[in-house]
Amino acid sequence: MTTTTTAYTARPLSAQVLRELRTRDDAGRAPVPVTDEEGGAPLRCCLRRGEPGERIALVSYAPLRRWAAGTGVDPGAYDEQGPVFIHAGDCPGPAAGAALPFTNAHRTVRRYSAAGRILGGRLVEDEAGTRAAFAEAFADPEVALVHVRAVEYGCFLYEVRGT
């Protein structure tokens, strides 16, 4: 018997997007760096929680708009922007071989088509549920990517694309 395991990779914000957001965010505002005194902010640049004392910025980010611009589709009414935390300066990105981030709470895995339309979503509670939601999503040939979002605020956490 052969078992196939599919690896899903959380995609942090790219270096180019981070450079742009550190100058002007997707709402057209200049970021305001602050020192995260307590730590714990979910950083989208390196896909981990911030440490106390790190310099971070809360910026507006439009994940589907940026993906759509790169693929030539119009996300229509699904184009939305919201707040994300990033390091105020350069960071090394996610650690090599890091586990899926931010899986220790309720999350929504939202599926999108290649035309940029929502195809559905699923509420997950942990890493096993997140992986199962990815497998379910990418078993559908219409799914091009998924967004993982925080339930409590609806914030974008990261993207996973089909292979």
Domain ranges of the chain: 15-87, 107-161
- Global confidence as pTM: 0.90
Give the start-end residues of each E strand in 2-155.
Answer: 34-36, 42-43, 48-49, 54-61, 82-87, 107-113, 118-124, 143-150
How many Cβ atoms sit within 10 Å of the Cβ of residue 8?
19
pLDDT, one tens digit per residue, over 3-33 is: 344 678 899 999 999 999 999 999 999 999 9
Tens digit of pLDDT for each residue in 25-74?
A: 999 999 999 999 999 999 999 999 999 999 999 999 999 999 999 999 99
